[in-house]
Structure 1
Amino acid sequence: MTRLLHRLGAGAATHPWRVLTGWLVVVVAAFGLAATVGGTPQDDWNVPGTPAQEGTELLRAEFPAAAGAQDRVVVHDPGGDSVPAAEITELSARLAGLPHVVSVLGPRVSEDGATVLLDVRYDVPVTDPDLFGDTTALEEAAGPAVDAGLQVAFGGEVPDSAGLSAGGTGEAVGVLVALALLVLTFGSVVAAGLPILVALLGLGVGSSGVLLLAAVSSVSTSAPTVATMVGLGVGIDYALLLVTRHVEGLRAGLDVRAAAATATTTAGRSVVFAGATVLVSLLGLGLAGLQTYASFGTATAIAVVSVMAAALTLVPAGLGLAGTRVLPRRVRTGAGGSHRRRAPLAARWAGRIGARALPWALGALLVLVALALPAFDMRIWPADVGAQPEDSTTRQAYDLIGDAFGPGANGPFLVAVDLDQVPAADLGALRDRLAGQPGVATVADPVLAPGGGAALVVVEPTTAPADARTTELLERLRADVLPAGASVTGQTAVFADINALLTGRLWLVIGFVVGVSVLVLTVAFRAPIVALKAAAMNLLSIGAAYGVVVAVFSWGWGRQLFGLDQDVPVSSWLPILMFAVAFGLSMDYEVFLLGRVREEWRRTGDARTSVVSGLATTGRLITAAAAIMVAVFLGFATEGELVLTQIGAGLAVAILVDATVVRMVLVPATMALLGHWNWWLPAWLDRVLPHLDLDGEDLEPADDAGIVEHEPPVVLPAVAGAP
């Protein structure tokens, strides 16, 4: 791999226009394919094997007219007067005439007459291009009622889908902040702009790949946004690492080609293994047992692979074109004093950590434990409409329905009854038994399917969908009340089943991701203790991030910063998705740091000095890379959609904690304490592990232009024992 990376970097720097032309062809081809044969992302909420899915399948078979999307139109008189019946009749007629509408049910009128609810049903799913994300037809139909002074709000699947699209402002701000940080880091606009451009080009190809994936499989509507968020962050970080190593080579006296080759050889190895750990983590999402989750991992993996390829090829090409312009002007002209004026700060910090490693390690550990404590109070639930901003039409419809008909009207249970197992004559008794249950507000009369094979009973709880008591009621109905052949479905029941599925699979995903990542690090660094310690540190930083998310969103400590007006549960999507992404990204910084520490260790054989030197040389890089990643994630967190807000904020916290408390304090402190034990490798494992030549030892002299020579590696004892 070292030989390949060296030749790749040298070739790209020598022939930059060939590389740029090749990438231009790839970008145009990817965009063209995506435009012609690419698919449209759509959510797949089918969860095979769950009780709610059984009921859903029965209703789909017996009530085909109800298989399409459903919306709810709420009409309210702001003055508290009764809504005129003529307005409702005219509105119902206009809604019935909309494309794909098969029926308008209702009206359901509140006791005071001031609120009226209409249910609109379509003959196509919400993912149909005519419906998804477009409320224009609903707004036009409601126009005359609004002109008459009535308030009209929309809930249901189509309005919900319209709120899923991110505005893009937050991402743009995040990129601008990243650019500013890069300018401060390098002191050169050329060096700062290169990582941004490379990441955007790689991300463009990756985004096209996601659309091509959507043509052959189901991809969640939120997956492209998560893929963009992660791909943009890691793309900038990987390019930043390469540019930083190239600048170091130029300052050490190497020419442009040799510096680019050295950067691609040394930093490129870190990029490859860091990317590998991210991919392992993302592929672990497939173990969650939900197609939507698997699509998050696959889509983001496509983006990561694309930006990795861009970093390893476009960065050395761009560096070859830029020449010495990546250096600050004062360095190129020899003015302004030494270009190493910032180095003593990092060196002093590293020396302080190494000199008093135990107190620093204990202090960092206490900080992480304190931050993680709120995680023990975590309650997860899929984000519902009640957590959306008050000015959104879906939130207004949610509040109006809750005020007029009770909170349970926003998430009714649909009891699907198979009449081959439950006689139709027993439906009345079943209805009465359901109505007598604590926590049940109303039970509608059973509705028979056209074919007579099933019946539908609508049950409204007394509590809101996200209320824990609603889940308790669902579990009691399933366990003690409903007979065989009757199953509860509907959005609330589906959410509860998804919640239970993801909670149960969390530890499976964690075990897989941690296990494979430890294996990858062990192969990369031939140091099992370092690999195990890295996994433990990453778990601590993610636990701390979980705790901060709970404190902010569920305890309300600063939720106003994200536009929330009430405390909300942690989204069901967050624990597994955040773990997989954050664990992989944390490994990025671990690889960056360990790569330099290992170089110094093999050069000097001094464990403590190698840690101090490694931190001194990578501290500024890790800090800059983390700041950029935090800026990008917070940019996405401001887009308003609650799931993305929580994921963006959680990942920003995870990266911030990892790059400061963990990577800059806890990791070097524990490595300084362990000394030579960091690099202990038992003889049997040494024989089993493949040799990947991470240090360029198999490069021939002719290939080794520009690569700094190292002294022979220190050979550790091959058996367990004192180092």
Structure 2
Amino acid sequence: MALAAIALAGGTAFTDGADLPDSESATAYALLAEDGGTPTTSGNIVWKPSGDPAGEMLAKIRTLPGVVDVTEPRVDTGTGTAYATVVLDKDADTAPVTEAALAYDSPDFDVEVGGQAFTELPGASHGTEAVGIIAALVILVLMFRSGWAAALPIVVGVVGVAASLLLVMIASHAVDLAATSLTMGALIGLGVGIDYALFIVNRHRKNLSRGRTITDSIADALDTSGRAVVFAGATVIVALLGMFVVDLGLLTGMARAAAVTVLFTILAAITLLPALLAILGTRVLSKRQQVTSHRPTLSARWADLIDRAPKRAATAALLVIALIAAPVTMMRVGDADASSDPVGTPARAYHDLMAPAFGDGFDASLLLVAQVPDAASSTAFTNLATSLAEVPGVATVAAAGRTVLTVVPETSAQTEETADLVHRLRDEVIPAAERGSGLRVYVGGTTATSIDLSDALLGKLPLYLGLIALLGFLLLAVAFRSILVPLVGALSNLATILVGLGAVTAIFQFGWGSALLGVGSGAPIMYLIPVLIVGVVFGLSMDYQVFLVSRMHEEWAHTRDNRRAIRVGLTETGQVIAAAATIMLCVFASFGFSGERIVSGIGIGLGLAVLVDAFVVRLTLIPALMRLIGRANWSYPRWADRVTPRVSIEGPVLETIKS
């Protein structure tokens, strides 16, 4: 209640700005800022046919608050289309301009607005997560056959997420956070929060069905599944905070918000949930479920199948992983432009009106900002401006100031041809013009910035992947005192990450189903998506690995029978891992239908990755490989045993056995 009161009183202070890496586009913006003046942003108003009532419309817009300038219309006589650029103060409200322009829209006078100033950035979710929560509740009812037991994970997950998001709203006044941080927190927090509570409730119900008292059952559930939840949640938090190596402000802000949400869901699972379990008592079990059944479960039959044919199971799992992950080899990172937006949306209507008249690159202009220290440099800059019109891929060149040129490409911002043009200008055309003079020219603009962000990401992504793979290996080695189990776990985590990236590439870049999600046609993958998928999928994969192998390890410590340990671990955790993954798929997939390309990409990528990770990797590939490896799974060098901290995630009984 205190968090809610503070959040409602203070409101939010989210920012949509992104820190630029040390790049050429950042230098170009810095040079522009040195000229002083009020920071501005601009967008376009386009109409067809040219002529009245355009004059009246533009005159009205010039009088609106925040409008700095409205340029003279540019007309394409061939199509009868015209547009004017509106320059606004950086923080001006664009809604009055949009309303004033669209007020003149009619069947005989088509008006659209677009460009940077009028582009709506993704914001907080619009309640799509409610669909995922309802689906999760249905799955839990089917699994537990008890309304009370089904409601507990939902209640605990929602409370943990709600409290954390209130804190994120308050923190937005002190830390730079985008509004999408709320969506990311809700997306990840609901998935892991419901799952964490599910594992504890499942253990408690099993204890009760075996005749343990309520108090003893809750204590045991916290000492076993509760420990696993804390360990697994900590790995998710570490993976999210590992995004700091990418060093992009927007991403690190989202990572901080998501990490806080995961922390709150852990706290809710180990504090609120036990209290609710104590209050409900045996009501978490239905009368029918209190009767012991000796029929083999589906998990037991699956464990038997894996035990009898481990080679075929491992081969089939690897083929599925390779098939889904294959498109990642063709992934392109960049920004989607209006040409890929769904037909009928304002951005697509703006593009379809502008492009036939003024070319596909009308909204992908590049800013060439120059340092001209002397007369020789000034001559070289003039020669560059003249020669640019002959460069392949350049549509038009215009002066935007004494030392600034605007270059409009022939192709749209999201195409490979435009990216190639930027690199050609930087690597060939501009260095040739600078040679022998003090002239220095930097390529900037929104399109160049997107390319620089993508290049910076791809340069650091291998480091991030390597870091989390090493982290996963070390954490699992500490937990299970084994070399092969952590090695297989770390490699399988990387395989799941590639599955998520491959699925996103196929759906959102190739366009295989993107229209069904309401996000338009295929386009490059926004740089946020790969990093978030890498970090979150690693953490979630570690969750399932910990829950599965900890039960195997517990049985191994008691029996020293590798085959039995695998069968028991898979039998007792298979159902709950399958249910947890299905719940997380529902939660993530509900964000996939948000209509926002970035949010949808993250939701679908995470959902499919979790689905494959649970059913193909954890419940098939891992037990099959461990069955083939044999007792060597649990081998650990004596020197490593002496230096490795003793951390048990299976409870004090196993700690005694280990010692």
CA distance in 2, matches of 1:710, 1:501: 46
The answer to whether the 8 A contact 2:21-2:456 is kept is no
The answer to whether the 8 A contact 1:278-1:584 is kept is yes
The answer to whether the 8 A contact 1:83-1:113 is kept is no
Question: How has the CA–CA distance of structure 1 residues 244 and 325 changed in structure 2, closer, same or farther, with 3 Å as cutoff?
Answer: same
CA distance in 1, matches of 2:117, 2:78: 28
Letter in 1 for 2:113: F
1:652 aligns with 2:607: yes
Which of 447, 459, 464 in structure 1 is aligned with 2:401? 447
Question: How has the CA–CA distance of structure 1 residues 232 and 158 changed in structure 2, closer, same or farther, with 3 Å as cutoff?
Answer: farther
Name the residue aligned to 1:318. Answer: 276
Question: How has the CA–CA distance of structure 1 residues 711 and 505 changed in structure 2, closer, same or farther, with 3 Å as cutoff?
Answer: closer
1:68 aligns with 2:40: yes
- Further displaced range: 555-564 or 657-666: 555-564
Letter in 1 for 2:323: A
Question: How has the CA–CA distance of structure 1 residues 159 and 152 changed in structure 2, closer, same or farther, with 3 Å as cutoff?
Answer: same
Letter in 1 for 2:523: V
Which structure 2 residues correspond to residues 534-683 of structure 1 after superposition, within 5 A? 534-683=489-638
CA distance in 1, matches of 2:16, 2:254: 11
Which of 412, 416, 421 in structure 2 is aligned with 1:473? 421
Alignment deviations for residues 375-427 of structure 1 (CA, whole Å, 9 cap, x no partner) = 21222212333322222212221222222100111110011122336744554
Which of 70, 77, 89 in structure 2 is aligned with 1:123? 89
- Further displaced range: 206-215 or 148-157: 148-157
CA distance in 2, matches of 1:676, 1:330: 40
Which of 7, 16, 25 in structure 2 is aligned with 1:52? 25
User: Displacement of 1:604 after TM fit?
Assistant: 1.3
Letter in 1 for 2:133: V
Name the residue aligned to 1:223. Answer: 181
Name the residue aligned to 1:456. Answer: 404
The answer to whether the 8 A contact 1:605-1:714 is kept is no
Alignment deviations for residues 506-549 of structure 1 (CA, whole Å, 9 cap, x no partner) = 00111111112221221122223211110111111222232222
Which of 242, 248, 251 in structure 2 is aligned with 1:290? 248
Name the residue aligned to 2:223. Answer: 265
CA distance in 1, matches of 2:654, 2:533: 39
The answer to whether the 8 A contact 2:21-2:453 is kept is no
Question: How has the CA–CA distance of structure 1 residues 628 and 107 changed in structure 2, closer, same or farther, with 3 Å as cutoff?
Answer: same
Letter in 1 for 2:343: E
User: Displacement of 1:438 after TM fit?
Assistant: 1.0
Alignment deviations for residues 648-673 of structure 1 (CA, whole Å, 9 cap, x no partner) = 11111100110011011000111112
Name the residue aligned to 1:140. Answer: 99
Name the residue aligned to 1:155. Answer: 114
1:33 aligns with 2:6: yes
3-state DSSP of counterpart to 1:166: coil
CA distance in 1, matches of 2:628, 2:475: 24
CA distance in 2, matches of 1:644, 1:711: 43
User: Displacement of 1:479 after TM fit?
Assistant: 1.7
User: Displacement of 1:641 after TM fit?
Assistant: 0.9
The answer to whether the 8 A contact 1:402-1:410 is kept is no
The answer to whether the 8 A contact 1:605-1:713 is kept is no
The answer to whether the 8 A contact 2:341-2:521 is kept is no
1:692 aligns with 2:650: no
Which of 444, 463, 474 in structure 2 is aligned with 1:489? 444
The answer to whether the 8 A contact 2:46-2:81 is kept is yes
Letter in 2 for 1:573: L
CA distance in 2, matches of 1:353, 1:60: 64
The answer to whether the 8 A contact 1:188-1:329 is kept is no
Which structure 2 residues correspond to residues 382-397 of structure 1 after superposition, within 5 A? 382-397=335-350
The answer to whether the 8 A contact 2:124-2:182 is kept is no
Name the residue aligned to 1:207. Answer: 165
User: Displacement of 1:263 after TM fit?
Assistant: 0.8
CA distance in 2, matches of 1:555, 1:140: 35
CA distance in 2, matches of 1:494, 1:659: 38
1:363 aligns with 2:297: no
CA distance in 2, matches of 1:307, 1:647: 20
User: Displacement of 1:371 after TM fit?
Assistant: 2.0
CA distance in 2, matches of 1:423, 1:265: 73
- Further displaced range: 507-516 or 34-43: 34-43
Which structure 2 residues correspond to residues 81-120 of structure 1 after superposition, within 5 A? 82-84=49-51, 86-112=52-78, 114-120=80-86
Total equivalences in the alignment: 651
CA distance in 2, matches of 1:365, 1:580: 22
User: Displacement of 1:561 after TM fit?
Assistant: 2.2
CA distance in 2, matches of 1:340, 1:388: 55
1:376 aligns with 2:329: yes
Alignment deviations for residues 603-625 of structure 1 (CA, whole Å, 9 cap, x no partner) = 21111101100000000000000
User: Displacement of 1:157 after TM fit?
Assistant: 3.7
Alignment deviations for residues 42-69 of structure 1 (CA, whole Å, 9 cap, x no partner) = 123331410000001111221534x233
User: Displacement of 1:564 after TM fit?
Assistant: 4.5
User: Displacement of 1:109 after TM fit?
Assistant: 1.7
- Further displaced range: 461-470 or 369-378: 369-378
User: Displacement of 1:596 after TM fit?
Assistant: 0.9
CA distance in 2, matches of 1:74, 1:163: 24
Alignment deviations for residues 55-114 of structure 1 (CA, whole Å, 9 cap, x no partner) = 01111221534x2332222223xxxxx322x42222212222222221222312223363
Letter in 2 for 1:253: G
Question: How has the CA–CA distance of structure 1 residues 40 and 538 changed in structure 2, closer, same or farther, with 3 Å as cutoff?
Answer: same
CA distance in 2, matches of 1:99, 1:640: 31
TM normalised by structure 1 equals 0.86
Query: What percent of counterpart residues are identical?
Result: 37
Question: How has the CA–CA distance of structure 1 residues 579 and 390 changed in structure 2, closer, same or farther, with 3 Å as cutoff?
Answer: same
User: Displacement of 1:137 after TM fit?
Assistant: 1.5
CA distance in 2, matches of 1:222, 1:111: 42
Which of 104, 118, 132 in structure 2 is aligned with 1:174? 132
1:498 aligns with 2:453: yes
The answer to whether the 8 A contact 1:199-1:232 is kept is yes
- Further displaced range: 567-576 or 225-234: 567-576
User: Displacement of 1:373 after TM fit?
Assistant: 1.8
1:232 aligns with 2:204: no
1:429 aligns with 2:383: yes
CA distance in 2, matches of 1:605, 1:162: 56
1:304 aligns with 2:262: yes
User: Displacement of 1:300 after TM fit?
Assistant: 0.7
CA distance in 2, matches of 1:627, 1:187: 17
Question: How has the CA–CA distance of structure 1 residues 182 and 543 changed in structure 2, closer, same or farther, with 3 Å as cutoff?
Answer: same
Question: How has the CA–CA distance of structure 1 residues 224 and 480 changed in structure 2, closer, same or farther, with 3 Å as cutoff?
Answer: same
3-state DSSP of counterpart to 2:119: helix
